[in-house]
Amino acid sequence: MRKVIEGSHAVSEGARLARAQVISAYPITPQTHIVERLSEFCADGTLDARFLRVESEHSALAALIGAASTGVRTFTATSSQGLALMHELLHWASGARLPIVMANVNRALAPGWNIWADQTDSLAQRDTGWIQLYCEDSQEVLDSTLQAYRLAEWVYLPVMVILDAFFLSHTYEPVDIPDQETVDRFLPPFRPRFHLDPESPCTFGQMSPPGVYMEMRRSIQAAMEDALAAFADVEEEFSRVHGRRYGPVEAIQCDDAEVILVTSGTVTSTSRQVIAELRARGEKVGLLKIKLFRPFPMESIRAALGRAQKVAVIDRNFSFGASGIFAQEIRAALCNLPGHPAVFGYIAGLGGRDVTTAVIEEVYVRTRDAERPQEESIWMGLQEVKHAT
Amino acid sequence: MQLDTMDREYIHSGHVGCPGCGAAIAMRFVLKALGEKTIMVMPACCWSIIAGPYPQSALKIPMLHAAFETGGAVASGVRAALDVKGDAETTVVAWAGDGGTFDIGFQALSGAVERNENFLYVCYDNEAYMNTGVQRSSSTPYGAWTTTTPGRQWKRLRKKNIVEALVAHRIHYAATANIAYPEDLMGKAARARTMTGSRFLHIFASCPTGWRLPSEMSVKIARMAVQTNIFPLYEVEDGVRYTINFMPKGYLVNEYFRLQGRFKHLTDEDLAEIQEMVDEDWNLLLRKAGVAPA
Amino acid sequence: MSSEPRERPPTSLLIPCSYLSTESNKTGSWRFLRPRYEEKTAPCSAACPAGEDIARIEMLTAEGLFHEAWETVLRENPFAGICGRVCYHPCESVCNRGEFDEPVAVHILERFLADAAARFELKPDLDRLAARSEKIAVVGSGPSGLAAAYFLARLGYQAHVFETMPEPGGVLRWGIPLYRLPFSVLNQEIALIRELGVRIHCDREVSPQSLAAAGSSYDAVFLGCGHSRSLRLKIPGENLDGVEDGLRFLGRIRRGETPVLQGTVAVVGGGNTAMDVARSAARLGARPVVIYRRRRQDMPAFAEEVEMALAEGVELRELETPVAIRRRGGRLVVTLQEMRVAGEDSRGRARVEPDSGKTREMEVQRLFLAVGATTAEEWQDPPPEGRGVLSLSNGVLVHRPGHPVLVFGGDLVAETKSVVHAVASGKEAAIALDLIFREGLEAVRPRLHACLVGEGPSLSMEVYLGGPRSRRNHRIVRYEDLNTDHFRFAPRIMEPRLLKEERLRSFAEMVLKIGANLATREAERCFSCGLCNDCDNCQLFCPDLAVIRDRKAGSRSINYDYCKGCGLCVVECPRNAMVLEEEALCARS
């Protein structure tokens, strides 16, 4: 059924259709609409789930760790400060190999208080062992939520479905909402490989000395590696049932491009328009959308970017003391490729500042016209702030 | 004591608790009363180590190790999952030390109790962060040496009253218990098991290692804590109905303190002050229970 | 449409999750102290002259195992019913419970067991040795002679008892009044001894000649004839009509005579016989006045006897002694000299001297003398130390080659004249004789020493026969050794007695029976000092589950694979039945 819905509600619908069984969440703007809608679903019986109104995000994830360990399907959503508060337990969820699915609305981190789009919150968690899926539009959000469960329950790693604050969470788009029966054909009930069971008691998460910890960590990485292939399988199945697929990356007109822009999230959507216009003017430009960030799709990225002369990464985030995070990862992916392109890093849109077509075009022009990057990161559109001390 | 309770054991020998460990005794008694249809959530505490390293476990019931501050929250999640699966029989127990209950774990506990989550939370109290080497917690009693309240800076703050804090939440059931009173302890655990809603057991579990006490005195010192009114045995239902389970003769506190190395710096004046505090707290409890003071 | 969702090969999933218990950690290797179960000696059993295993008796009684409890008494003392009624129970004076609330009423329980045995016609299963050829003559069928015969029979010997009187029992029959010891009880316990094969010949007096002749038929002779000659006051008027020897008076009553007494009668003396005479006289209608030359606390009579006499209306006049008796009309007039205390002797008894000038007269209907007794004939006195004379705790043994071994026992040698001391005497004699016959004279002292209960002087037959008690530590458990946290105050049972008005109406037994419920309740008050009574505190409090109930062994054992040596079991044992020792480094394997 096609309906115009808010981006947040696309998440809610995804979790509902996925038959999440235990939901535990703490409100934070701009995630609130996600969990409010789910709360309504639980109250009116549309969704047969237990909803825990916990007293912090840390407890929200803690509760899901408990629930997932007991062998049920779980869901939560958060953003920014809430995600940062969960940090300890993000590590825990992956270390415990629990197939938890969480939606994160990319929002800036304080201080100062800023509720608008910024990717630093989720990217700062890139080491925690969660699969990360960045979404461009509401349909992708809903689809990714459904896919997240299939993926998580195959490789036993938690999955984060990520959407931009306000630009995606609070805008309305037409979305194809599948019916429950169709989804059930794609997503079978969760049958855990382990769970807390009085009939078959054992202890989980106990002290693991040096002699064994490293192997457990290797197992997580092995699962991440398997996740690349698993994601392809998930998309294959999803495509067969729903007729849509996204790919870990999407290359738009990259084959003969001299300059390829790399984007993620809603910036991708704006960039498509810019690329079309530039191409119309004869520019040899392409666009690479990154959807799957963890596990980092090395091969796909090398294949898409390897033959370009220059790559311009637009990061709506920053790792202080280094550079934009997508740029870091792409530089690392390409550095051993003979004759690899120069990678230009651009920082734009932090704290919800609008990334307009003008900004993107400027990114392209500066990249095209520079032989090599003069700086590690170029901050776009900085202004002089009056009254600064 | 019911014969079948006496014969059932749910912990294994070979665990790595210190000799004379009160926490091991507490676990043994509580599990005897709860039985095998129990799932335990265990935030970081001494028992996280006592239970043994991978691939061992000292418990015969399913157990989930959890992060330090998450006892109340993880247990809530386990409970929700069991409810979704239609399991109304299994008891969910959060098993935490004083650190994971009074301090870092207090938020999650308060949140869970406020929501009246259907679980039993057991705090075994050895009055400091023993697992990490005897640092002070808000459960450390007035007068105690710890590694973070050493020398002249011995703790001059009273022990936090966790039961009263939860009573203020109108918790469905809260009770104190003590390893030296096994029938009372097991009775309360068995009783709590039959209830629904949030239930809390505060168990006095001596630590010979951290209290600088000979290991063989572990149970005796616990008994003395009750006999001196330092740790009264009582229950509170729904935050209003107080029942004092045992009216001891009220021995003076001096011998209790003199037997423990962690108190050896206390002078007679200090002990007199402490006696006044103990008497004050005891009389307050009597008033709440509607019992006339002695 | 689309196929069923397909499966993939499972992803690597190495998580911290258990598949072994901690039982592979043998935490016993941590230990530097090792606990052990060890029985120790309860103070009551050491204070009992017969060395009865009192703590075990009460334990069995508390468990309702009355048959076994009764047998445990009999192992050391054949007179459960008799001692339960007449013993002065020194055990109760040292009972550790006495420091907690009140001592356990051991004698009431002992009597209960005998009553239960009688009621259910129980037969005891006593350990006995194989029959031997030696025969022993026992002179006197009082408590020491009967006890000696009893223990000799258990050791395999033929014991023949010779008794002057027409019926056996000695002071048990002729001395102790019926209201303290009914005939039925006495007859039952004598019958038990007869059932072991002991032969009792009554109406048979023994003379020095018959004693000499005994050598040809007997290998030993036990002399338990006691002090049957009453002492006299040696004052004028002592032989007047109306003045009677107290013991003889008691004997007459026991033979069925009921002389009618009225008015005031005087009883001179301060021992148990004096009390018996006074209380008997009270029952026959008189108003007895006991006249004693020292103070009440100096009286050799058991304190309880004095109390009961006073409760029955007997008057006590202290620090008085008769100096002359004369008749006036149908009555006797006794001149009494007042005495005063002139210091104390080595035992704390008063030394008295006449308070000159202070005399008074008292008119009485009758006067009974109970100022002590001595041997009827010289040959009954034990010889002094010398060659061939072995002085034991409760007897004197004379060993001369070519003669039967002679043992003087009972009241002939005892400092405290009581039934239980008589039993101790008979036991010691029996064991000493057995040692002489089996191993020789040199074995007597060391082997007797090995049978001591605690530090002695009481002996245990069970230890002599190598029973479980022989493995017990001699250390006596004191009150400070117990963990009294585990006990609750409980009042001691009140001995049920006839009402005061009822007592004087007849010679019916004054103390009444108790039921099994009261008996078990009282027995449960026993702390069981030094003996494990299966309370399971050790098992309950062990943090490592290293205490195992060993049902086959009937008790407990420590699993040293896991025991960390924390010592909780030893401290929480309420009764000090465990010990904590240093772990010998080489003992670990």
B151 DSSP 8-state letter: G
Residues B250, A200: Cα–Cα separation, whole Å:
47
| % chain A with pLDDT above 90 | 98
3-state secondary structure of A170: coil
Cα nearest neighbour of A227 on chain C: C11
pLDDT for the residue numbered C343: 87
Chain A touched by B35 (CB under 8 Å):
no
pLDDT for the residue numbered B108: 98
How far away is chain A from the Cα of B170, in angstroms, using its nearest Cα?
17
3-state secondary structure of C87: coil
A289 and A234 assigned to the same domain: no
Which of C136, C146, C134 has its CA nearest to residue C225? Answer: C146
A303 and A327 assigned to the same domain: yes
Q: Per residue in A305-340, pLDDT tens? A: 999 999 999 999 999 999 999 999 999 999 999 999
Q: Per residue in C259-284, pLDDT tens? A: 888 899 999 999 999 999 999 999 99
Q: Per residue in A172-218, pLDDT tens? A: 999 999 999 999 999 999 999 999 999 999 999 999 999 999 999 99
What is the token pair recorded at C550? 């060993």
pLDDT for the residue numbered C455: 93
Q: Is C197 exposed, middle or buried (0-12, 13-18, 19+ CB in 10 A)?
A: middle
Helix runs in C439-487, H state only: 444-450, 461-464
3-state secondary structure of B211: helix
What class does CATH assign to C230-372?
Answer: alpha beta
Q: Per residue in A254-270, pLDDT tens? A: 999 999 999 999 999 99
Report yes or no on A385 lying in a domain: no
- How many domains does chain A divide into? 2
Q: Rounding to the nearest 10 degrees, give the CA dihedral for residues A46, A48, A50, A53.
A: -10
Residues A218, C359: Cα–Cα separation, whole Å:
113
Beta carbons of B14 and C562 less than 8 Å apart: yes
> What are the extents of the domains in chain C?
23-39+532-588, 47-124+475-524, 135-228+375-438, 230-372
Q: Is A312 exposed, middle or buried (0-12, 13-18, 19+ CB in 10 A)?
A: buried
Instruction: Fold for C135-228+375-438, please state it.
Output: FAD/NAD(P)-binding domain (3.50.50)
| Main-chain phi, psi angles of C117, to 5 degrees | -60, -40
pLDDT for the residue numbered C2: 42
A169 and A266 assigned to the same domain: no
Asked if A88 and A56 touch (Cβ cutoff 8 Å), the reply is no
Q: Is the pTM of this model over 0.95?
A: no
Residue that the structure tokens 């002779």 belong to: C221
Fold match between C47-124+475-524 and C135-228+375-438? no
Q: Rounding to the nearest 10 degrees, give the CA dihedral for residues C254, C260, C265, C267.
A: -10
Percentages (nearest 5) of helix, strand, coil residues in chain A: 40, 20, 40
A236 and A180 assigned to the same domain: yes
Q: Rounding to the nearest 10 degrees, give the CA dihedral for residues C78, C82, C84, C88.
A: -110
Side chain identity at C552, as an amino acid letter?
K
- If you average pLDDT over residues B165-179, what whole number do you get? 98
For residues C544 and C554, which has the higher predicted lDDT (pLDDT)?
C544
Cα nearest neighbour of C15 on chain A: A216
Chain B touched by A385 (CB under 8 Å):
no
With contacts defined as CB-CB under 8 Å, which chain A residues touch B70?
A: 58-59, 62, 65, 89
With contacts defined as CB-CB under 8 Å, which chain B residues touch A19?
A: none
pLDDT for the residue numbered C415: 86
- If you average pLDDT over residues A40-65, what whole number do you get? 97
For residues C77 and C2, which has the higher predicted lDDT (pLDDT)?
C77
With contacts defined as CB-CB under 8 Å, which chain C residues touch B223?
A: 485
Taking domain C47-124+475-524, whether its CATH number is 1.10.1760 is answered by no
Which of C570, C210, C141 has its CA nearest to residue C404? Answer: C210
- If you average pLDDT over residues C171-189, what whole number do you get? 94
With b for 16 or more beta-carbon neighbours within 10 A and e for fewer, the C375-405 pattern comes to beeeebebeeeeeebbebbbbbbbbeeeebb
Q: Per residue in C557-573, pLDDT tens? A: 999 999 999 999 999 99
Side chain identity at A353, as an amino acid letter?
R
Beta carbons of B19 and C30 less than 8 Å apart: yes
C386 DSSP 8-state letter: B
Find out whether the peptide bond into A295 is cis, omega within 30 degrees of 0.
yes
Q: Is B242 exposed, middle or buried (0-12, 13-18, 19+ CB in 10 A)?
A: middle
With contacts defined as CB-CB under 8 Å, which chain C residues touch A216?
A: 14-16
Q: Which residue of C19, C485, C545 is in closest CB contact with B55?
A: C19
Would you place residue C3 in the very low, low, confident or very high pLDDT band (cuts 50, 70, 90)? very low
Strands A310-315 and A342-347: parallel
Q: Per residue in C487-508, pLDDT tens? A: 999 999 999 999 988 999 999 9
Which residues lie below 8 Å from residue B271, measured CB to CB, with a gap of 6+? Answer: B253, B254, B257
Q: Per residue in B99-129, pLDDT tens? A: 999 999 999 999 999 999 999 999 999 999 9
Number of helices (H) and strands (E) in chain A: give both, helices first: 12, 16
B267 DSSP 8-state letter: -
Asked if B75 and B81 touch (Cβ cutoff 8 Å), the reply is no
Which of residues 92 through 121 in chain B touch A, CB cutoff 8 A? 107-108, 110-111, 114-115
| % chain B with pLDDT above 70 | 98
pLDDT over threshold 70, residue B236: yes
A318 and A222 assigned to the same domain: no
Q: Per residue in B62-79, pLDDT tens? A: 999 999 999 999 999 999
> What are the extents of the domains in chain B?
3-288
Which domain range does residue A340 map to? 249-379
CB pairs under 8 A between B and C: 108
Side chain identity at A22, as an amino acid letter?
V
Interface probe for A, chosen from C1, C3, C14, C25 (most Cβ of A below 10 Å), is C14
pLDDT for the residue numbered C585: 66
Which of A119, A29, A27 has its CA nearest to residue A76? Answer: A27
A342 and A232 assigned to the same domain: no
pLDDT over threshold 50, residue C167: yes
Helix (H) / strand (E) containing C74? helix C66-76
pLDDT for the residue numbered C549: 84
Helix (H) / strand (E) containing B268? helix B268-288
| % chain C with pLDDT above 70 | 98
pLDDT for the residue numbered B224: 97
Which residues lie below 8 Å from residue A317, measured CB to CB, with a gap of 6+? Answer: A118, A119, A120, A123, A324, A325, A326, A350
- If you average pLDDT over residues A279-293, what whole number do you get? 98
A170 and A318 assigned to the same domain: no
- If you average pLDDT over residues C135-154, what whole number do you get? 97
pLDDT over threshold 90, residue C296: yes
pLDDT for the residue numbered C550: 79
Instruction: Fold for C23-39+532-588, please state it.
Output: Alpha-Beta Plaits (3.30.70)
Beta carbons of B17 and C544 less than 8 Å apart: yes
Which of B225, B15, B259, B28 has its CA nearest to residue B139? Answer: B225
What superfamily would CATH give domain B3-288? Answer: Thiamin diphosphate (ThDP)-binding fold, Pyr/PP domains (3.40.50.970)
A124 and A163 assigned to the same domain: yes
pLDDT for the residue numbered C554: 58
Would you place residue C1 in the very low, low, confident or very high pLDDT band (cuts 50, 70, 90)? very low
With contacts defined as CB-CB under 8 Å, which chain C residues touch A237?
A: 2, 5-6
Q: Mean pLDDT for chain C?
A: 93
Q: Is C551 exposed, middle or buried (0-12, 13-18, 19+ CB in 10 A)?
A: exposed
For residues C534 and C91, which has the higher predicted lDDT (pLDDT)?
C91
Chains that touch C (3 or more CB pairs under 8 A): A, B
3-state secondary structure of C145: helix
| Cα–Cα distance list, B32 to A204, C422, C540 (Å) | 21, 54, 11
With contacts defined as CB-CB under 8 Å, which chain C residues touch A158?
A: none
Asked if C564 and C558 touch (Cβ cutoff 8 Å), the reply is no
pLDDT for the residue numbered C578: 96
Instruction: Please give the biggest Cα pair distance in chain A.
Output: 69
Beta carbons of A240 and C2 less than 8 Å apart: yes
Asked if C543 and C571 touch (Cβ cutoff 8 Å), the reply is no
Q: Is the dihedral of CA C167, C171, C177, C182 positive or negative?
A: negative
A225 and A277 assigned to the same domain: no
pLDDT over threshold 90, residue C215: no
Beta carbons of C21 and B215 less than 8 Å apart: no
